[in-house]
Structure 1
Amino acid sequence: MEKQYTVKANGTTAEGKKNWMVFDKAAEQFLPQFEGGRFALQDIAKQLNEGTLELEAEETKTEPKESKTGRKIGYMRISTLHEHQKFDRQEEQLKDMGCDVIYGDRLSGAKRERPELNKMLDDLQEGDTVIIVSIDRLSRSTRDLLDLVELIKEKGASLKSIQDSWLNTTDESPMADFLLTVMGALGQMERAMAQQRVKEGMAVAMRKGANVGRPKVNSKKMEHALELYKKGEHSIKEIVEITGVSKATLFRKVKEIKDQAGI
């Protein structure tokens, strides 16, 4: 059987002597891992052919994968349309953080529909980090903040606040997760308590025979509408369609009841 390994000259050395090396006939290549004189290399080739010496598998070097580092996206907000109120303070801090793009709204934080905020969320890419100066620049309600955090996470992006250092989802911080969970629980309890106060206030005001102070609508229709509103099982639009009481009238009545109940 023909031997796979032999010793061949691979050019010459600097001194003009033959450069002997072990040669793999099957792979048609020299094996640079073996060094020595011709006779020592012949002994190595013999051991390789007999199977008493095995070639060590060359380590396959894999290039480390680049961690996906996205852009730094800044978001800022001011509550007024007046030109004299500027973004300067927020913009300067966001630029100092190295933001590549900055979005800014001139709207109340209580409003969820903000053009630049929506545009920023649409443009977010995996690996991006949204940076805000403080939480109140992004949202003024716990529920809205939690919803926005989830939207940002779903995009594969993260959120970081400059002033509220605990809010940093870039490093899977246990403290950030804990505080967001607590905020979610508190927000849910707050909504439940507010809903209960509204129901109690409406019941008290209705027993007192609260007057709308405007031309009366059909009292039975209004009572039906308020009852549906108290139950919370229908939207305002559905209540209007069911009872025939206008949205404006229903809202005025609910407000009056809340005012009389001190809510």
Structure 2
Amino acid sequence: MWNRPLCVKISVCLSTLGKGMGKRLGYARVSTDDQRLDLQRDALTRAGCADIYEEKVSGKSADRPALDYCLRALSAGDTLVVWRLDRLGRSLPDLVRIVGELEQRGVGFESVTERIETGSATGKLTFHLFSALAEFERNLIRERTQAGLAAARARGRKGGRKPALDAKQVREIKALLRDPDIQVADVAKRYGVSRATIYKHVGAVRPERGASPMI
């Protein structure tokens, strides 16, 4: 079992560094214990990568140490190579952000499977399109969030988590607790909440039998 991300750098002796004069560094990632890195490693080696940084960690995880090491090792004129786009970015905006930062540093990017190279005119055009799609996605999320909040305000609700008990349930609980034979714990179980929630929403109620009075 993998208890933490595996961070490995594999040095591969090559007679040439491939395209361009800079280094070609590979990054490979798998997200589950039953996946193997062999396929990505072989593809990146064939693509001329001098070094390959590998790790086993979920793509949703923000903590990817091997990727951090790889990005720090890149200099202007170098190229970052991945087997497939989804090995690098956690989402489309994340992918665009990383590649954009590489471009600002003068570092190229290449995806073997999609045959994308930001060093070419076609590759740059592709990533301009990705950037536009990422911005479109952000705008959609923003609009949906704002529309949802506006609809909630129109129904008399503010944004935030839905209360554990609504007004009707609070009235029912108050009525139940007027009966001295009904225990707070039983009421809490019936409504699927804790005793603390009952006290929070109902206010000061009588103590259960045998308990110290509430102050």
Q: TM-score range by the shorter chain?
A: 0.5 to 0.7
Aligned partner of 1:196 in structure 2 is 143
- Asked whether the equivalents of residues 112 and 144 of structure 1 are also in contact (C-alpha less than 8 Å), the reply is no
Where 2:106 maps in the other structure, the secondary structure is coil
Amino acid at match of 1:168: E
Q: Counterparts of 1:1-263 in structure 2 under 5 Å?
A: 69-80=21-32, 82=33, 84-165=34-115, 167-170=116-119, 173-208=120-155, 212-214=162-164
C-alpha distance in structure 1 between counterparts of 2:125 and 2:104, whole Å: 19
Answer yes or no: is the 8 Å Cα contact 2:24–2:50 preserved in 1.
yes
Question: How far has the Cα of 1:121 moved from its partner?
Answer: 0.8
> Aligned partners of 1:137, 1:151: CA distance in 2, in Å?
17
Q: What TM-score does the superposition give when structure 1 sets the normalisation length?
A: 0.49
CA distance in 2, matches of 1:93, 1:68: 18
Contact preservation (8 Å) 1:104, 1:116: yes
Where 1:214 maps in the other structure, the secondary structure is coil
Distance in 2 between residues matched to 1:90 and 1:150, nearest whole Å: 23
Give, as a single letter, the amino acid of the residue that structure 2 aligns with 1:174. A
Structure-2 separation of matches of 1:215 and 1:195: 29
Where do 5+ consecutive residues of structure 2 fail to align? Answer: 1-18, 167-215
SS in 2 for 1:110: coil
> Of the two, which has the highest radius of gyration?
1
How many angstroms apart in 1 are the aligned matches of 2:28 and 2:98?
A: 14
Aligned length: 145
Tell me the secondary structure at the aligned position of residue 69 of structure 1.
Answer: coil
Q: 1:68 to 1:179 in 2, by over 3 A?
A: closer
Deviation at 1:141, TM superposition (A): 2.0
Alpha carbons 2:118, 2:127 under 8 Å: kept: no
Deviation string for 1:73-99 (max 9, x for gaps)?
Answer: 11011122x2x3221111111122222
SS where residue 54 of structure 2 aligns? Answer: strand
Q: 2:83 touches 2:113 (CA, 8 Å); kept in 1?
A: yes
Amino acid aligned to 2:30: I
